Amino acid sequence: MSFRPAWWLANPHLQSIIPTRLRRIDLPGRARAIVRTRDQDELLVEQLDTGNGPLVILLHGLGGCASSLYVTGMQSAFHQAGYNTWAWNARGAVRPNLRPDTYHGGRFADVADLVDSAGQRPVALVGFSLGAAMLINLVGRPAACPSTVKAAVAISCPFGFVKNAAHLDGPSTWLYRRYLLGRLRRMTQRKRNWAVSQGLDWARRLPDDAELARLTRFADFDDRITAPLNGFADATDLYRQVDPDQVVSAIQTPTLVVQADDDPLFTAPLEPTGIRPKSLTLELTSGGGHVGFVQGRWPWSAEFYAQTRALEFVRAQMERT
């Protein structure tokens, strides 16, 4: 199986943006569950689950949620193939979480807690972008990764966080930056307003609307909010500590990484720079954009390569177990 980008989405920006407008996915019957984390926070999970058999857990990217189209498309594909599926909402993604902590690329403990809550069923993890970074940060730490994780798929994973963060604050990514920071600012507003209504002391650590409006770069936002709320010295310290590249060589779980060579949100390195273990399969596709990977002759018959490839890989690993 190999990826051939659709001729009508030959531009990486079209591959990254159009799929979010191209699809209409109906997932009836999803049930929402609340999973407690080890630090007594909450994760909201959208489930299509009989309670028996293998489970596929989907991890959205920065500014996304369980209802993002790339997540619901993947959930629908696995559901139709007969798998139980959970699509998580990272802490604070859709409603204010209980603690000052936020989600970031290194919050792999939340993924482990989610897996543990599923019991002893075999689990496959599928992560997108920042969710892929969390996934790699978990499977790259075998002592922290639950033994029930039998397969992992990372799609458009940001290796080289320091360089990629600087790239995201550059001129070529202004549209993505505006969109993502807008979502992060609104998430922060909801979190602050809720904390104020609850009389929580840490509400004072969150900026007012005027200051939020001035945070127009990721470095500014992470320096002011993400880093201090999560125990990092500053944005650079955050990026260095959560970079998934540093743990790739320790991966023992069968893992597929799918990257596009024209991903507009990334700069070099597009792939892990260290020693790659035998457990890791890397596909660097020609074209595909960021979490796009759309192929097919016509828009009305579009095919989504990442879905097909993830399903193929997970099925192969589950059959082995």
Catalytic (active-site) positions: 129, 263, 290
Helix (H, G, I), strand (E, B) or coil at 260: strand
Q: Is the dihedral of CA 304, 306, 312, 315 positive or negative?
A: negative
Closest CA to 102 of 245, 237, 221: 221
| Angle subtended by helix axes 108-116 and 130-139, to nearest 10 | 70
Question: What residue spans of the chain are helical by DSSP H?
Answer: 12-17, 19-22, 69-80, 108-116, 130-139, 161-168, 174-197, 209-213, 218-221, 227-229, 235-242, 305-320
Helix (H, G, I), strand (E, B) or coil at 88: strand
Q: Are 70 and 112 in contact (CB under 8 A)?
A: no
